[in-house]
Amino acid sequence: MLTALILVPIIGAILIGFLPTPEGSNLPRKAALAIAIGLFFYSFWLLTQLDLSQSGVQFTEYLTWAKPIGLNYTLGVDGLALPLVVLNGLLTWVAIYSTREKIHRPRLYYSLVLLVNAGVTGAFVAQNLLLFILFYELELIPVYFLIAIWGGAKSQYAATKFLLYTAVSGILILAAFLGIAWLCGASSFDLATISTEDLSQKSQLILLSLLLVGFGIKIPLVPLHTWQPDAYVESAPSVAILLGGILAKLGVYGLLRFGLELFPETWHLVSPGLAITGSVTVIYGALSAIAQKDIKRMVAYSSIGHMGYILVAAAASTELSVLGGVAQAISHGLILALLFELVGIVEDKVGTRELDVLNGLMNPVRGLPLVSALLITAGMASAGIPGLVGFAAEFLVFQGSFSIFPICTLLCIFASGLTAVYFVILLNRTCFGKLDNKLAYYPRVVRSEQIPALVLTAIIMVLGIHPTWLVRWIEPTTDAIAQSFHKPKIVAISQPNLIASFGSDLDR
């Protein structure tokens, strides 16, 4: 079952790459769209088949692969992984559909997008640590080329920066995985065979720190975020949708799956620092967004802020906060995809992203009234206005985290008010006011260009009105994750350095 979600996009990418397409043919686009739609509906069907009475891994597949090194083809999903797989399928379709029809090198472009989809899905469903790393790195090269070839003026710089940061992320995670398996004496890297309970607290702290930094780069969290604004801004809107909407969720997934689940006791020790880091990330993202003049860069910084909510929720690790953190990850993916989609339309029709130039887009005759209305809706969803999915997710995060980290939660609530501030600035300057007569009429947004934004808006509104349709799939798994997090006895950390303890585990 799950293998199809990986093999179909890979085979599709190969076939599209070798399609004999005449000049001006849309065959690569049509083929990629058909594959993306099929993947989305198949993953959604799997979601409906998920047994909600169980919190463990389902739809498992196992095949011995490279037994001497402990690498097995082990797949499975639960309420944490499968909703993210569905989100991946949806946003892949949105990214392909929103791509301009007359794009240069279409076969390469659509092949790379499908390879990104396969890599992300493979990482979500992998139940073997080495297999996870293989898929985690699979999307690295395709995304690099998507940014470098189809990006903006500084795309080479942004792509190289992304490549270097993500490579460091992968190295740190691989080092942590190797340490986990070897120190635990596991017979393979299969997640089900690994337990860290017998490791000393100091060794666990070193391994968990590697994971926190590695996945923190991917999310990204302050101060590991510096690659993100450049990569998002220089990417084409469709590629930015993939970067922010789904690739960042690999970091969230990794923190919960391999950080919190494998190191619950040590997570308790570092959770205050994580909560502080999360609240700093939220405040920094909001203040930085307020200072921007480029609306795409403003959205990029807003993304950094909203990912901070998830870290605070994960740090608190209550049943409600973990549920809210995963809901926030999905909510963030939907809202960010909508914002990048609309920003791309505005840039395409108006020719600029500068706040000082944009004005009067709500004009019903000469402006972009529907795009402006959808932009207002997206801004309200991002700011957490009730009735939209952003409010439901943030409310769960705040309610679940307040009892554990009240000050950090209050800072996040304050930052949600700052979110409203920068979106009011954006909407006031772009949508309202008098349209410059020198600009005459903007090109019309045809119906086909509106479809992705309308679909995303509908989902955001439906899940906001009825959030149960979102959290019901997630709750059994997040409850089990939170229950594994227990407050251990307070153990004083002795003065001998951590490396010495780490070495004692190696000797053992």
Model confidence at 66: pLDDT above 90? no
* pTM (2 d.p.): 0.91
Tell me: do 191 and 276 sit in the same domain: no
Tell me: do 185 and 303 sit in the same domain: no
The number of domains in the chain is 2
Q: What range does the domain containing 164 cover?
A: 1-262
Distances (CA, A) of 188 to 192, 193, 210, 503, 504: 9, 7, 20, 21, 22
Last residue of a domain, one of 262, 284, 304: 262
Tell me: do 419 and 455 sit in the same domain: yes
Q: Is residue 173 part of a domain?
A: yes
Mean pLDDT of the chain: 87
Q: Are 55 and 76 in contact (CB under 8 A)?
A: no
Tell me: do 104 and 153 sit in the same domain: yes
Tell me: do 258 and 272 sit in the same domain: no
Tell me: do 305 and 373 sit in the same domain: yes
pLDDT, tens digit (0-9, with 9 covering 90-100), for 100-122: 877 888 899 999 999 999 999 99
Q: What are phi and psi of 310, to 5 degrees?
A: -65, -40
User: What is the spatial distance between Cα 73 and Cα 88, in angstroms, rounded to a whole number?
Assistant: 21
pLDDT, tens digit (0-9, with 9 covering 90-100), for 117-133: 999 999 999 999 999 99
pLDDT, tens digit (0-9, with 9 covering 90-100), for 306-344: 999 999 999 998 999 999 999 999 999 999 999 999 999
Per-residue pLDDT band for 494 (boundaries 50, 70, 90) equals very low
**Mean pLDDT of the region 66-72:** 85
Model confidence at 506: pLDDT above 50? no
What pLDDT is attached to residue 504?
44
**Mean pLDDT of the region 411-439:** 80
Per-residue pLDDT band for 23 (boundaries 50, 70, 90) equals low
Residue 251 host element (H or E): helix 248-254
Tell me: do 349 and 481 sit in the same domain: yes
Last residue of a domain, one of 262, 296, 330: 262
* Close Cβ partners of 112 (under 8 Å, ≥ 6 residues apart): 13, 142, 143, 145, 146
What pLDDT is attached to residue 436?
64
Q: Are 301 and 220 in contact (CB under 8 A)?
A: no
Last residue of a domain, one of 244, 262, 280: 262
What pLDDT is attached to residue 44?
95
What pLDDT is attached to residue 438?
63
Can you read off the two tokens belonging to residue 42?
């198949």
Tell me: do 352 and 300 sit in the same domain: yes
Coil, strand or helix at 59: strand
Q: Is residue 474 part of a domain?
A: yes
Q: Is residue 411 part of a domain?
A: yes
Q: Is residue 285 part of a domain?
A: yes
Tell me: do 226 and 342 sit in the same domain: no
Sole residue written with tokens 């809706």? 377
Q: Is residue 490 part of a domain?
A: no
Q: Is residue 92 part of a domain?
A: yes
Model confidence at 13: pLDDT above 80? yes
Query: Among 116-125, 163-172, 388-397, 413-422, whose mean pLDDT is lowest?
Result: 413-422
**Sign of the dihedral defined by the CA atoms of residues 189, 191, 195, 199, in that order:** positive
Q: Are 124 and 88 in contact (CB under 8 A)?
A: yes
